[in-house]
Structure 1
Amino acid sequence: MPSPISADRPAQPPGRGSVEALISQARRLKGDVDAVRRDARSDDSDPRERWQRALCDLALLQLNDLDEHLAQLRDGPPPVAPAPAPPAGGTAPGRPPSGSLLSRVGSAEWNLLTDEASWSGELYQILGLDPAAPPLTLDELPALILDADRPRLTAMVTDCLVDAKPIDGEFRILRSDGLVRTVHMMGEPVLDADGGTTSMWAVLRDVTELRHRRRTVHETRDSLQRHRQHVQTERRLAVELQEAVLPPWRGSLRLPRRGPQTLDLAAHYLPAATTTLIGGDWYDALELSDGDTLLSVGDLTGHGVSVTSGMAMLLGAVRGMAMAGSGPGQLLAWLNQLLDATVQPALGSALCCRYRPKTRTLTWAQAGHPAPLLFRGGTGRVLTSPDGVLLGATSAAAYGQAEVTLEPGDLLLLHTDGLVPGQGGTAAVDRLLDLAARFGTARTAQDCVRTVVEEFGEREREDNACVLVAQVTA
């Protein structure tokens, strides 16, 4: 018979509401089972009544587990405790006895006055014994138990016979077919009118598969917790490295610091909606020794601390080569060689601009990166890109350069991909150009950055992004 959910309801991750409903059902069922157990006759002389009551106890035990597991499904994994070592001598569980649940639950009674034992057929199957053989006495039963677990069984039986305590514990048995199985035993003493123990009855259940699945849950939970801790550690390292490398300035910055013709600069890093994704986006502004200003933005593909460290390497190389006098095109060519020579291949995009304040000339080059946007007189346009491929895409790539003369009041906007979730760079460019009128009324570069953040900052971005604004002062 097909599953009732397979045809009409494809398997889907459960929502919180559905899990709450399952928890309510499980707790109602626990109450019903408990009511049945309380209504059962407490006749210790009737083995069937004792067996039925013990089955209710087992059902309540499993429903408690179900309640706990559903609560974990609702609330997530609990804090991880150190996982106990596997018990010595334990082996991977074999195939459980076939049949229904009842074939894995057996009952036994040991008469202390006659030294006779009475077993159900299911108990023979659980213990892997010949049903034609006589049942084992309490003295013979430990012969099936693993050496490490015999003291546990002895203590349970002694407490039951001497102190009339209920039995509730587990031990492992070695069957004749070589399988090691875990058995859960529940029982009580049967007392005479004077309070003396005349016999002991018990219900035994093969819980090997249950314990194996529980260990699997613990192991996968611990693995998940370790993964989360690893991700958190890696993210912290990536954030610290990013903060150490990106320019520390906040608000507006003017470069060069001397002279009337400067650039009013502001930048902002927009993180991805998923906080674990720390990528290789960067922005930078650097005053060079000859009075020029280097502007750059870039993005190294991927996420994580290795990508962030790669970004730090590239940004350091950009600064060093620019200080040595390299033009934007040559700088990108050497960056490409550097990335191509790294041990771990990677791809990246970059945009480098060199601004000469004396002539207000901007010389720039790009490596597979969105072109700068130039805003003038309340309108904006995309500058025409020179040739340039992604960094690391091919060896010995050449990168062209372009020049544009800026005017006082012009605003230059550089950005990386990722501003608009699920869409290419064209969508972001169109929306940035639509901000031209608002940029025209802004007083500072920082005001323009705030406008970009208002437009893009609250969106569910799939990737990191950054924006750098440079305004030519009058």
Structure 2
Amino acid sequence: MRQLAAAHQLPAELRARLVLSVSLLAGQQTAAGRAVTLRTTYGSGPQEATTSLAVTLHCPGSPAPLALPDLPLPVQSVSRSTATWRIPLTDPAQQPGASIASRHSRGDHLAAAMEDDDAAEEELRAALARADAFEAEHRRLKHELAETNSGVLALYIQLEERDEQIRKAHGRILQELEDALRPQPIKVDGLELAVHYEPADTGAPTGGDLYDWFALPDGTVHITVVDALGHGITSTRSALNVTHAVRTLALEGHPLQSIVARTDEILMPLDRDLMATVLLARLNPSTGELQLANGSHPPALLVRTDHTCEYLEARGRGIGYPLPGSDGLHHARLNPGDLLLLYTDGLTESRRNPLEGEARLRASARRHLDKPIADIPGAIADDMLTVVLHPDDTLALTARITRPPRQHPPT
């Protein structure tokens, strides 16, 4: 087979593949004691532009269809007992007029053996050259891949740095927006105030939970806590409308009990989909007197200096609810050191059990009662939100009287 390939001047690599393929397939048959024959023909089909050399291996004794191993040169056609390789011959010098004559003399056999050795050496050199070419190409590709990876890594680092810059800028914008929505801190003699807000969506600057506080001309402090239906910026707009309406009504001197219902009258014609719970507190720092009006909002929690707690219930219905308004006012009095906690339901309903949440809130408020006022709302929120099964916006606002209430003269 090698001499035949050499006679047709096949390239060394192609010759090696053909010799190995024929040898492997023929070896299966001869190992089983069956005879094989090899036939070569020349020709071209109607679809072929060049003459081809057809090498056919015939195995007449094969008991089953030929099993083709993974051959270096694939077979083009196969039947039960034959396998054929077709090799295009483009050079006329590759198409001799007659087949190679058999050599019978000893000298001819030695010459053929020498030709086989030379051919095998040539094939080995071709295989080594191909391997060297593959190795060189592999090294080149590795070098290019390393340069590409280095460039990609540098680009990735740049993108990470840019993303970090964008995240910081985005965070600053959100913080500025949140700060713009919050009322300015107020300083009132004898009163400490602090607040903690945590949105359900960390990507939103605020949600439907909002607060407002301001001092009235008579020296009392008004506090509003609103929980508008929904999350994100849309609910923020609703909550802002409520706090602005309440502030206007309070500054105009409307009675505290009437403000919830009056706010509903003002806003519902403008936004029929608005629904919000409201808790209004009016606190006199000089006397400790507290008044509460409620519109469907969770009750305020009062924690005394002796760690006793009570929820200050005031009934009513919120903005957008049927028959909105506070049914009455709840009156209480704060002593120095007592803590008043106003909050939204996200604080107590994170585990979907309001009663369990209210019990945990009492325990948390007692635990943090003696801390600086600025630390208390956040500490309570940390206690309450260790497990969040129902994410919601969360607001906690605390107030504390810091001096003895003014004594009223006897009447």
TM superposition score normalised by structure 2: 0.53
Give the match for residue 463 of structure 1: 392
Structure 1 residue corresponding to 2:182, chosen from 231, 246, 262: 246
CA distance in 1, matches of 2:363, 2:387: 17
Is the CA contact 1:381–1:433 (under 8 Å) kept in the aligned structure 2?
Answer: yes
Say whether 1:194 aligns with 2:90. Answer: yes
Q: Deviations over 1:270-304 (max 9, x none)?
A: 22266469520012221122211011212001113
CA shift for structure 1 position 346: 2.3
CA distance in 2, matches of 1:387, 1:110: 98
Give the match for residue 118 of structure 1: none
Is the CA contact 2:260–2:325 (under 8 Å) kept in the aligned structure 1?
Answer: no
CA distance in 1, matches of 2:273, 2:91: 81
Give the match for residue 428 of structure 1: 357
Is the CA contact 2:302–2:340 (under 8 Å) kept in the aligned structure 1?
Answer: yes
Q: Which amino acid aligns with 1:428?
A: G
Give the match for residue 349 of structure 1: 277
CA distance in 1, matches of 2:253, 2:296: 23
Say if 1:267 and 1:194 are closer, same or farther in 2 by CA, change over 3 A.
same
CA shift for structure 1 position 395: 4.8
CA distance in 1, matches of 2:384, 2:333: 29
Give the match for residue 370 of structure 1: 298
CA distance in 1, matches of 2:402, 2:317: 33
CA shift for structure 1 position 236: 10
Say if 1:388 and 1:457 are closer, same or farther in 2 by CA, change over 3 A.
same
Say if 1:335 and 1:235 are closer, same or farther in 2 by CA, change over 3 A.
farther
Please tell me the root mean square deviation across aligned C-alpha atoms, in Å: 3.5
Q: Deviations over 1:72-101 (max 9, x none)?
A: xxxxxxxxxxxxxxxxxxxxxxxxxxxxxx
Identity %: 29
After superposition, where does 1:303-452 map in structure 2 within 5 Å? 303-395=231-323, 397=325, 399-419=327-347, 420-442=349-371, 444-452=372-380
Larger radius of gyration: 2
Give the match for residue 40 of structure 2: none
Say if 1:349 and 1:334 are closer, same or farther in 2 by CA, change over 3 A.
same
CA shift for structure 1 position 398: 5.1
Name the SS for the 1:378 alignment partner.
Answer: coil
Is the CA contact 1:361–1:406 (under 8 Å) kept in the aligned structure 2?
Answer: yes
Name the SS for the 1:404 alignment partner.
Answer: strand
Q: How many residue pairs align between the two structures?
A: 248
CA distance in 2, matches of 1:306, 1:376: 38
Say if 1:191 and 1:323 are closer, same or farther in 2 by CA, change over 3 A.
farther
Q: Which amino acid aligns with 1:462?
A: P
Q: Which amino acid aligns with 1:111?
A: Q
Say if 1:287 and 1:424 are closer, same or farther in 2 by CA, change over 3 A.
farther
CA distance in 2, matches of 1:375, 1:310: 31
CA distance in 1, matches of 2:361, 2:317: 24
Give the match for residue 216 of structure 1: none
CA distance in 1, matches of 2:308, 2:320: 31
Give the match for residue 229 of structure 1: none
TM superposition score normalised by structure 1: 0.46
Say if 1:298 and 1:396 are closer, same or farther in 2 by CA, change over 3 A.
closer
CA shift for structure 1 position 351: 0.4
Name the SS for the 2:194 alignment partner.
Answer: strand
CA distance in 1, matches of 2:300, 2:326: 20
Give the match for residue 198 of structure 2: 270
CA distance in 1, matches of 2:178, 2:46: 72
CA distance in 2, matches of 1:459, 1:195: 82
Is the CA contact 1:365–1:385 (under 8 Å) kept in the aligned structure 2?
Answer: no
After superposition, where does 1:128-167 map in structure 2 within 5 Å? none
Is the CA contact 1:337–1:396 (under 8 Å) kept in the aligned structure 2?
Answer: no
Structure 1: stretches of 5+ with no match in the other structure: 1-40, 43-108, 115-189, 197-231
